[in-house]
Structure 1
């Protein structure tokens, strides 16, 4: 049973319904058709030979499908992750141990993800808001497109490690050196993809455009005219590799690995949950963490770059009827077969064609609907999205965009949560015990009823103090209703204690209602129970407003007794 729990593929195979195989195979063939050019193009984004994208598309896809939670999630190289990889590998560019460090990065990403899954930290992805992901993805789409401008123009860069903006500037400065054959191949690729989508979304436009471009290169001899091609791709299974387990390299890549790991997990879990809303599958984020972690760990020893869940390939899996996780396993095997038998032809794939594929992908990364929804629905989310997107485009390091987005999210949340909710209630005279809510009024009432709500903590304590201090200075009784309080910390409790002490010194009566056991414990520890008196504290009850009804009746009795005493004194004095 433990094996079935930790290796979901075994459970799938044991209970596999043969009727599903046709659907899984058709979906796998369709996904593989898309994955072939995509994985190669993404490897170029990462700054490595397209073959490493194919290796990752084989190993990561098979392993993640075997150990992950989702039946439809397609794992492998993704645009955002590859962009991060390129950013963190810049310091190692040109070094003898570049690939050993690249595979170390893959290993570290996997180790972090696996550890988070084992420690059941799946809920942590919830702290990266949707606005951050939309902004980061949109910004990544922009810089990915800018980063491929030189390939589609056929222009050589003075420094291959320039930033995306630097590449654009270099291309503009070299605009007189455009290779129009390369530009034509790139535009031809984009046109084929667009036309294919218009005719039928199921047509593999990316693959067709790459195949047509290969034919053009071979027939017209475009390589001799300056059109750069992918070059030799090894005709073999993913070769074994050894990460560089050097403490200095681990220290250099640790931060980047953590960022890639978290972004990858957010991508994977978000995609899985999105598809699960349609398939009704229950997703276990912790198991998905483990699956992604094992995939990257194993991939690091088979020449794979770090990967995550791909929205495009996962959506295709679902749309084409993929029923089980066997679809992902079949995708990896199909790519392996293609790599083994058709690698000699892949060397003629022009870089401009892959750049065209990447540009179309980059455009599709900018989720226009999500941008409109986020920017028009909530002002804070719009700010977070804009900050994240601009930081992604202009910051020197991509992780800074995530840090900035999360930081702004937290700051705006704290700003909004610094407002304490204190509502003034009064009884409806026609129906004793009922309440209506209204804004605090300056006119005085004998019994001032204040309902505290939400999270009362140090951030909102100043606002809580102001609102309580401004309330009905001439009331005879202050009734504080705690029923709506979710969380309260000692700072907020000290504000309430000061308010109560001030009221008691002014010979006011204080009554507390809707008190939960947890709040009562805090009141006792702060000696508030002794100051107020046990008889003036009413615990919460199952019946709505039952506690408050008793408290109000007590308050009204006190007011009547005070009024009666005052009238007697007046008569005696007269």
Structure 2
């Protein structure tokens, strides 16, 4: 019998018991398709992170196996992704120079710190922390990151040097170095980019018009980048283009992932700790969004806290096997799902396929142009760019629009770390702002019913001596004084009021600050000769109030339903209904 605690932390012990030949065949097919996709993609993302190309493959082997053991998603494919690769380059680039041993060691340390942080969150069940990033802010950050990533690859497309971590610096660098453009590289890069865009939009309809089945057409379409890789590699080798200035991947070690050790010196850890936390949060938000979307299609469950552990173990695995920070990728996970993956074992089989590629196929990419890898990145990340979020936010909520616009602007102007930091701060600030001024309505009785609605929206019955206020938010330190001021300002304007009822159907929490405000309201109303009542208080809130002296000092009563309050305090109004 498997202990429940062990099964909780290792979901493989659950789904592994029912694994059968049908799941095996489906997982193997999915693994083959995803492996074909991941070989060029892993090389490309390593280039984006400023690391040797083999680091992308290494980061896609052991992490996938660890996630298969500890993760809960049946379809999530873990490995290097565009946004995390960009954030890695930004973080590590501040402490070491690209191409040096120190740079690679810092990337390992970043993966280790990210993994440990995720594990801590998972063990302590703190996955809710990711909720501090609102969807509009995440959409803005990913859009800005997509623009930055695409811009960072233009230099490789044109064969010129490009550096900087902000959009302005990137554009300035491209402009100053434009005169050094390598024409052949530009032709390869632009042609590969155009081809990949056509593959994404036009190849599948073309194949379907020739009678191919939808699944086979989709698989061939997903393998489009492989065709670009093969064609440009053969052309570069056959025409000797490397000798004419075309930058190629060069020699890639023909080996399995090596055992590596992150640098845990206090100085480096101090420099990378905050970037590691930011990478962890962004990676987790991206991963859990993909995992939950795919799981919902098969009515499966995702456990966010266990996902933290799965991603944490994947990053720790990357740190000790020559990789860098990883997370669940949208494109590869969708391909994995569409290819029929039944269990996380598909990821483990993908890791085996990538290991075979690392040992046997790496010599074949020696003449692969970096421009082709850059084209692969550009086509992949531009699908992340969604500027329509600005229009949607503008039409729905000006506050959300400001959050999206500010996140995009900060990310483009100051870099990804500043952008995600601004996103977290803005998300929290937005929540505090919105809840600090909760919607408060004066309500009355809808004739012929026992329902109460806003007097400004409905024709309702009210009593001159009774004021009923409904607050549509939990009460806590940020909004307690707002409610206090609202009620007191309202009663001083209306002399006939003798009773005030605070209707609480939406109040899920009352903290100490809010309790003090309720006590102050009760005291001030008492001085004015007005009784203070509560209605429709939820059980947990009532339990908390009973632990205090508030209910003993309350000048009025606590009513189970608002109609009961109306019947007791203004029976003539209740009868008139």
TM-score range, shorter chain: 0.7 to 0.9
Q: What is the alpha-carbon distance in structure 2 between the residues aligned to residue 41 and residue 386 of structure 1?
A: 29
Indicate conservation of the 8 Å contact 2:166/2:413, yes or no: no
Specify whether residues 436 and 362 from structure 1 end up closer, same or farther in structure 2 by C-alpha distance, changes over 3 A only. Answer: closer
- Are 1:470 and 2:490 matched, yes or no? yes
**SS of aligned partner of 1:449:** strand
Aligned to 1:401, which of 408, 414, 419?
Answer: 419
Q: What is the alpha-carbon distance in structure 2 between the residues aligned to residue 266 and residue 226 of structure 1?
A: 41
Indicate conservation of the 8 Å contact 2:504/2:534, yes or no: no
Indicate conservation of the 8 Å contact 1:514/1:547, yes or no: no
**SS of aligned partner of 2:443:** strand
Aligned to 1:313, which of 314, 321, 332?
Answer: 332
Q: What is the alpha-carbon distance in structure 2 between the residues aligned to residue 126 and residue 432 of structure 1?
A: 39
Aligned to 1:92, which of 96, 102, 105?
Answer: 96
- Are 1:242 and 2:261 matched, yes or no? yes
After TM superposition, the structure 1 stretch with the greater mean CA deviation from structure 2, 486-495 or 225-234, is 486-495
**SS of aligned partner of 1:84:** helix
Q: Deviations over 1:79-120 (max 9, x none)?
A: 111111101111211655332222121111111111211111
Query: Could you say which residue in structure 2 is the equivalent of 1:332?
Result: 351
Q: What is the alpha-carbon distance in structure 1 between the residues aligned to residue 155 and residue 63 of structure 2?
A: 30
Specify whether residues 311 and 369 from structure 1 end up closer, same or farther in structure 2 by C-alpha distance, changes over 3 A only. Answer: farther
- Are 1:132 and 2:132 matched, yes or no? no
| 1:263-282 equivalence runs, <5 A | 263-282=282-301
Q: Which runs of 5+ in 2 are unaligned?
A: 205-217
**SS of aligned partner of 1:252:** helix
Offset, 1:18: 0.7
Q: Deviations over 1:176-233 (max 9, x none)?
A: 2211100111112112212322111432111110110001101111111110100001
Specify whether residues 155 and 527 from structure 1 end up closer, same or farther in structure 2 by C-alpha distance, changes over 3 A only. Answer: closer
Q: What is the alpha-carbon distance in structure 2 between the residues aligned to residue 166 and residue 219 of structure 1?
A: 37
Indicate conservation of the 8 Å contact 1:110/1:292, yes or no: yes
After TM superposition, the structure 1 stretch with the greater mean CA deviation from structure 2, 449-458 or 339-348, is 449-458
TM-score by length of 1: 0.88
Offset, 1:53: 0.4
Q: What is the alpha-carbon distance in structure 2 between the residues aligned to residue 342 and residue 435 of structure 1?
A: 71
Aligned to 1:179, which of 154, 176, 182?
Answer: 182
- Are 1:189 and 2:192 matched, yes or no? yes
TM-score by length of 2: 0.87
**SS of aligned partner of 1:147:** helix
Q: What is the alpha-carbon distance in structure 2 between the residues aligned to residue 515 and residue 174 of structure 1?
A: 68
Query: Could you say which residue in structure 1 is the equivalent of 2:12?
Result: 9
- Are 1:53 and 2:56 matched, yes or no? yes
- Are 1:488 and 2:510 matched, yes or no? yes
- Are 1:504 and 2:508 matched, yes or no? no
Q: Deviations over 1:522-545 (max 9, x none)?
A: 48845563461xxx41342xxx54
Indicate conservation of the 8 Å contact 2:51/2:104, yes or no: no
Indicate conservation of the 8 Å contact 2:533/2:554, yes or no: no
Q: What is the alpha-carbon distance in structure 1 between the residues aligned to residue 349 and residue 18 of structure 2?
A: 17
| 1:284-295 equivalence runs, <5 A | 284-295=303-314
Q: Deviations over 1:465-497 (max 9, x none)?
A: 343122352225213133323333444444444
**SS of aligned partner of 2:341:** coil
Offset, 1:278: 0.5
Q: Superposition RMSD on alpha carbons, in Å?
A: 2.8
Query: Could you say which residue in structure 2 is the equivalent of 1:560?
Result: none
Aligned to 2:369, which of 328, 350, 362?
Answer: 350
- Are 1:414 and 2:432 matched, yes or no? yes
Offset, 1:461: 3.5
Query: Could you say which residue in structure 1 is the equivalent of 2:155?
Result: 150
Query: Could you say which residue in structure 1 is the equivalent of 2:569?
Result: 552
Q: Which runs of 5+ in 1 are unaligned?
A: 558-574
Offset, 1:434: 5.8
Q: What is the alpha-carbon distance in structure 2 between the residues aligned to residue 459 and residue 521 of structure 1?
A: 19
Indicate conservation of the 8 Å contact 1:452/1:480, yes or no: no
- In our comparison, the structure showing a higher alpha carbon Rg is 1
Q: What is the alpha-carbon distance in structure 1 between the residues aligned to residue 550 and residue 315 of structure 2?
A: 56
Aligned to 1:199, which of 180, 198, 203?
Answer: 203
Q: What is the alpha-carbon distance in structure 1 between the residues aligned to residue 118 and residue 531 of structure 2?
A: 57
Specify whether residues 296 and 499 from structure 1 end up closer, same or farther in structure 2 by C-alpha distance, changes over 3 A only. Answer: closer
Specify whether residues 273 and 444 from structure 1 end up closer, same or farther in structure 2 by C-alpha distance, changes over 3 A only. Answer: closer
| 1:153-164 equivalence runs, <5 A | 153-156=158-161, 163=166
- Are 1:116 and 2:121 matched, yes or no? yes
Q: What is the alpha-carbon distance in structure 1 between the residues aligned to residue 304 and residue 538 of structure 2?
A: 33
Q: What is the alpha-carbon distance in structure 2 between the residues aligned to residue 371 and residue 16 of structure 1?
A: 46
Offset, 1:174: 2.5
Indicate conservation of the 8 Å contact 1:146/1:165, yes or no: no
Specify whether residues 462 and 117 from structure 1 end up closer, same or farther in structure 2 by C-alpha distance, changes over 3 A only. Answer: closer
Indicate conservation of the 8 Å contact 1:433/1:549, yes or no: no
Q: What is the alpha-carbon distance in structure 2 between the residues aligned to residue 495 and residue 79 of structure 1?
A: 49
After TM superposition, the structure 1 stretch with the greater mean CA deviation from structure 2, 496-505 or 55-64, is 496-505
Specify whether residues 448 and 381 from structure 1 end up closer, same or farther in structure 2 by C-alpha distance, changes over 3 A only. Answer: closer
Offset, 1:323: 1.1
- Are 1:537 and 2:557 matched, yes or no? yes
Specify whether residues 245 and 412 from structure 1 end up closer, same or farther in structure 2 by C-alpha distance, changes over 3 A only. Answer: closer
Specify whether residues 378 and 279 from structure 1 end up closer, same or farther in structure 2 by C-alpha distance, changes over 3 A only. Answer: farther
Query: Could you say which residue in structure 2 is the equivalent of 1:458?
Result: 477
After TM superposition, the structure 1 stretch with the greater mean CA deviation from structure 2, 82-91 or 375-384, is 375-384
Offset, 1:298: 1.8
**SS of aligned partner of 2:383:** helix
Specify whether residues 352 and 456 from structure 1 end up closer, same or farther in structure 2 by C-alpha distance, changes over 3 A only. Answer: same
Q: What is the alpha-carbon distance in structure 2 between the residues aligned to residue 506 and residue 375 of structure 1?
A: 45
Indicate conservation of the 8 Å contact 1:152/1:182, yes or no: yes
Q: What is the alpha-carbon distance in structure 2 between the residues aligned to residue 337 and residue 432 of structure 1?
A: 72
After TM superposition, the structure 1 stretch with the greater mean CA deviation from structure 2, 371-380 or 125-134, is 371-380
Offset, 1:17: 1.9
Aligned to 2:455, which of 430, 433, 438?
Answer: 438
Q: Deviations over 1:498-532 (max 9, x none)?
A: 44434433444444444556458648845563461
